[in-house]
Amino acid sequence: MSGAGGEPLTAVFTRLIAATGPISVAQYMAESSARYYARRDPLGAAGDFVTAPEISQMFGELIGLWLADLWLRAGRPEPAHYVELGPGRGTLARDALGAAKRAGLTPRVHLVETSPALRASQKALHPDARWHHDLSTLPPEGPLLVVANEFLDALPVRQWVRTAAGWRERMVGLAGDRLLFVASGQPIDAKLPAELRDAPEGAIVETCPAAAAVVGEVAARLATQGGAALFVDYGHVAPRTGSTLQAVRAQRKLDALAAPGEADLTAHVDFAALAAVAQRHGARWLGTVEQGRFLRALGIERRAAALAATSPDQAATIDRATQRLLSADEMGSLFKVMGLAHPGWPEPAGF
């Protein structure tokens, strides 16, 4: 798309839509996210949003131990590859790899990242990593130990709206110089989830073909190469209707069409759909559980107590971070952890 330079994305979209008609929600989201992530590091207390690994080192450590435990019990197959999708600042990878190493696992490190700005931050922590634009260039041999935190929610969703004339794709159109949602005039070209097809007029259904493609590819790799994967994100475990498209800037929600390219645009992850995709591609679905339950099962409270005992001046901070990760009012329930593995790998912890 033109205008990738300094021109605000709103102006680019306005010109494009005026010339050629409405664009899909997926195109709007894909172009906005590419622009948003390309130039900045949006993470952390001073940024647009705060993720679990930026809240506490315990998050990455427990994930690293989960992977190491499975790999050790699988018989230490080599060469083992740690693969992280959308690694942000590289914080989770640092904490996970540190804990894994103490447990006896030192895998090769592969970071799948498209943003030049974030690749630069990752390189500072992981000078020996290999970077990939997508999964296709990952090594074809050796088990993959895959981690993705708040990655799937950034992938573009398609939306469908039931109009009086039937289901239509939900688009971004123009009223004067203002962006707004409209229904496409064309009948739809995709299959809607069967259980949602009879939703009433006005209902919106979201699908995420890009997330299905990623999870399908990971699952197929696990089935042939061995390994396990954890996808952590906010989302739902049963099919539902309604738009979950959301924009966040400076830790506040704003209208999804207000500031394309300048705010983080996400949608909830449909974990039920992804579990089905993973199984179709030959992986074992280990379950999808609430983040709070998963971290408790892995012993986060014991780890927090141990950290507080060695740094008593940090005890209140550690306690606050633990509550943010666990509490049902914060990240504990909305965030889910979906586990996948090679069908022959041992029983995992936490599910």
Least separation in angstroms between CB 273 and ligand SAH = 18
The yes or no reply on residue 37 touching ligand SAH (CB under 6 A) is: yes
Least separation in angstroms between CB 157 and ligand SAH = 13
Which of these segments, 82-90, 167-175, 197-205, 323-331, binds ligand SAH (CB under 6 A)?
A: 82-90
Residues with Cβ < 8 Å from 340, sequence gap 6 or more?
Answer: 146, 215, 218, 219, 222, 228, 229, 231, 278, 283, 284, 285, 286
The yes or no reply on residue 233 touching ligand SAH (CB under 6 A) is: no
Least separation in angstroms between CB 126 and ligand SAH = 13
Return the bridge partners of 339, or none.
230, 287
The yes or no reply on residue 235 touching ligand SAH (CB under 6 A) is: no
- Identify the three-state secondary structure at position 230: strand
Contact 213, 156 (CB under 8 A): no
User: How far, rounded to the nearest angstrom, does the alpha carbon of residue 349 sit from its chain's CA centroid?
Assistant: 21
- Identify the three-state secondary structure at position 191: coil
Among 10, 32, 51, 207, binds ligand SAH (CB under 6 A): 51
Which of these segments, 50-58, 163-171, 185-193, 292-300, binds ligand SAH (CB under 6 A)?
A: 50-58
Taking the C-alpha atoms of residue 168 and residue 161, their distance in angstroms, rounded to an integer, is: 5
Which of these segments, 18-26, 110-118, 178-186, 320-328, binds ligand SAH (CB under 6 A)?
A: 110-118
The yes or no reply on residue 230 touching ligand SAH (CB under 6 A) is: no
The yes or no reply on residue 54 touching ligand SAH (CB under 6 A) is: yes
Angle at 152 between CA 151 and CA 155, to 5 degrees: 100
Least separation in angstroms between CB 112 and ligand SAH = 5
Among 10, 32, 115, 291, binds ligand SAH (CB under 6 A): 115
Taking the C-alpha atoms of residue 122 and residue 130, their distance in angstroms, rounded to an integer, is: 11
The yes or no reply on residue 154 touching ligand SAH (CB under 6 A) is: yes
The identity of residue 72, as a single letter, is L
The yes or no reply on residue 86 touching ligand SAH (CB under 6 A) is: yes
Residues in the chain, overall count: 351
Contact 239, 192 (CB under 8 A): no
Q: Which C-beta is closer to ligand SAH: that of 213 or that of 220?
A: 213
Q: Which C-beta is closer to ligand SAH: that of 240 or that of 324?
A: 324
Phi then psi dihedrals of residue 346, to 5 deg: -65, 170
The yes or no reply on residue 53 touching ligand SAH (CB under 6 A) is: yes
Among 68, 118, 183, 267, binds ligand SAH (CB under 6 A): 118
User: Which residue from 273, 197, 280 is spatially nearest to 235, judged by alpha carbons?
Assistant: 273
The yes or no reply on residue 90 touching ligand SAH (CB under 6 A) is: no
The yes or no reply on residue 129 touching ligand SAH (CB under 6 A) is: no
**Binding-site string for ligand SAH from residue 165 to residue 204, where x marks contact by CB under 6 A and - marks none:** ----------------------------------------
Angle at 217 between CA 263 and CA 52, to 5 degrees: 40
Cis before 79? omega within 30: yes
The yes or no reply on residue 150 touching ligand SAH (CB under 6 A) is: yes
Provide the Cα torsion 25, 30, 32, 36; round to 10°.
150
The yes or no reply on residue 151 touching ligand SAH (CB under 6 A) is: yes
Q: Which residues bind ligand SAH (CB under 6 A)?
A: 33, 37, 43, 51, 53-54, 86-88, 92, 112-115, 118, 149-151, 154
